[in-house]
Amino acid sequence: MPNILITGAGLSGTVIARHLAEKDYNLTVIDEKDHTAGHCRSYRDEKTNVMVHQYGPHIFHTDIKEVWDYVNQYAQFMPYTNRVKAHTEFGTFSLPVNLLTLSQRFGREFSPREAYDFVQSKADKSITDPKNFEEKGLSLMGEELYHTFFSGYTLKQWGRDPKELPASVLSRLPFRFNYDDNYFTHPYQGMPKEGYSTLIENILDHPNIKVKLNTVFTKEMAAQYDHVFYSGQLDRYFDFELGRLEYRTLDFEKFYPGKEETLNGDYQGGAVVNYCSPKIPYTRITEHKHFAPWEEHEGTVCYKEFSRNCEPTDIPYYPVRLSGKNDLLDKYVAEAEKLTGITFVGRLGLYRYFDMDKTIDAALKTARQFEKTFKAGENCSMPFAEL
């Protein structure tokens, strides 16, 4: 059996490990943290017993049937629809911007046609070729909507003036002319009943997989294996010798609302409220009990989320891949491509934001490709995964 080392017990490493374990490979999965599941980790809050997502709210949604079937093999998924609210200087509204949002924001009724025409009338027609996030916003919806919902939130999330961000970031945000307030449009959406960590533990539960926590990857360690899959930071693998890739990190401020602040243990009435005003320092408040409406809890626990630049000692969350060109990334990719016996995977290894479904899809594709090209006893070279 070929021996494979997987660095990272997050979703990427776990899915690759399971696929290869079933093909009779011998897998050692290491993680420097004291838990599996990486950024998807969930656990029960010690005080309230509410299932919380340690690294920020995670909602599973996908349009890839194979991925939906895959996760449902390992965990029971409960129906869950993500309905986000936006707290703004003009009140609290339904997100994504939809017919109800428009009616409330402008204090009048709209049919879909009227709403479309109205938004068109507000759009700044003088911007014919929007060059950045702000120009795109103004050209699509005009000043009021853009500043109410998008400019302040974006400034806080990315720490940059929206004029410095590419127009493509705005194009990814949904905007609707009907009453649909389901944040995602994917046909499959849900929440694992016993949390993401249980899902991942179940994927790892195979006799050919050995998991070692509190274990940091070293190159000496790698030399003992036939191949390495590495889901840690790409620049860290090279000891940051060319410089550091930029990330945003998040700080979470946990609080337990008192009985007098809640109605029967409900603090904000839903799982996620975005705070769009630049005057409020946090980007959102998440009340995790609402992710599990099938459970009953007397108490509640909430997290305020703050976004800032990632310093060397911080946990990297979002790769700052806002503009198309990134010279430093290109240099690291060129270095990675010279290596043999290692495949870089996942959000940190590929320096790219992936939702969980895309992470699973990419991990399955990578593992299948590996099976085809790997020959036991030979040093296997894998190209930097093109995704």
Ligand X SMILES: Cc1cc2nc3c(=O)[nH]c(=O)nc-3n(C[C@H](O)[C@H](O)[C@H](O)COP(=O)(O)OP(=O)(O)OC[C@H]3O[C@@H](n4cnc5c(N)ncnc54)[C@H](O)[C@@H]3O)c2cc1C
Catalytic residue ranges: 172, 176, 248, 284, 305, 353, 355
Is residue 343 involved in binding ligand X (CB under 6 A)? no
CB of 254 to ligand X, least distance (A): 15
The percent helix, strand, coil of the chain (3-state, each to 5) is 35, 20, 45
| 38 forms part of the interface with ligand X (CB under 6 A) | yes
Tell me the residue ranges of DSSP E strands in 193-328: 209-212, 227-230, 247-255, 272-275, 284-287, 302-309, 318-319
175 vs 306 by CB, closer to ligand X: 306
Task: For the CB of residue 52, give the shortest distance to ligand X in the complex, in Å.
Answer: 13
Bridge-based pairing of strands 85-88 and 91-94 is: antiparallel
Q: Which is nearer to ligand X, 66 or 378 (CB)?
A: 66
Of 149, 217, 275, 370, which one interacts with ligand X (CB under 6 A)?
A: 217
- Name the burial class of residue 237, with classes exposed (0-12), middle (13-18) and buried (19+) by CB atoms within 10 angstroms of its CB: buried
59 binds ligand X (CB under 6 A): yes
Q: Is 377 left (phi over 0), alpha (psi -120 to 50) or beta?
A: left
Residue 53 Cβ vs ligand X, minimum distance, rounded to whole Å: 8
Residue 18 engages ligand X in binding (rule: CB under 6 A): no
CB of residue 107 vs ligand X: minimum separation in angstroms?
33
Part of the chain binding ligand X (CB under 6 A), chosen from 30-38, 103-111, 153-161, 332-340: 30-38
From the list 56-64, 112-120, 155-163, 332-340, the region that binds ligand X by CB under 6 A is 56-64
| Binds ligand X by CB under 6 A, chosen from 2, 26, 56, 352 | 56
Residue 16 engages ligand X in binding (rule: CB under 6 A): no
Q: At its nearest, how many Å lie between ligand X and the CB of residue 220?
A: 13
Q: Taking contact as CB under 6 A, which single stretch among the options 52-60, 68-76, 150-158, 325-333 is the one that binds ligand X?
A: 52-60
Rule CB under 6 A: say whether 89 interacts with ligand X: no
Read off φ and ψ for residue 344, nearest 5 degrees: -85, 130
Separation between Cα atoms, residue 64 and residue 354, nearest integer Å? 14
Residue 317 makes contact with ligand X by CB under 6 A: yes
User: Judged by CB, which is closer to ligand X: 108, or 219?
Assistant: 219
Binding string, residues 150-189; x marks residues near ligand X by CB under 6 A: ----------------------------------------
Residue in 359, 361, 374, 380 binding ligand X, rule: CB under 6 A: 359
Instruction: Give dist(CA 187, CA 360) in Å, integer.
Output: 17
Stretch that binds ligand X, among 11-19, 91-99, 124-132, 187-195 (CB under 6 A): 11-19
- Burial of 187-196, coded b for 16+ CB within 10 Å and e otherwise, reads ebbbbbebbb
Contact call for residue 384 and ligand X (CB under 6 A): no
On whether the CB atoms of residues 221 and 335 are closer than 8 A, the answer is no
Q: Which long-range contacts (CB under 8 A, 24 or more apart) does 164-171 make?
A: 164/132, 165/132, 165/133, 165/134, 165/322, 166/132, 166/133, 166/322, 166/323, 166/324, 167/130, 167/131, 167/132, 167/133, 167/135, 167/136, 169/133, 169/322, 170/133, 170/136, 170/137, 170/140, 171/136
Cβ atoms 102, 289 nearer than 8 A = no
**Region binding ligand X by CB under 6 A among candidate stretches 6-14, 199-207, 275-283, 291-299:** 6-14
Query: What residues pair up with 274 in beta bridges, in sequence order?
Result: 86, 284
Which parts of this chain interact with ligand X (CB under 6 A)? 7-13, 30-33, 38-40, 55-60, 216-217, 231-232, 250, 317, 346-348, 354-357, 359
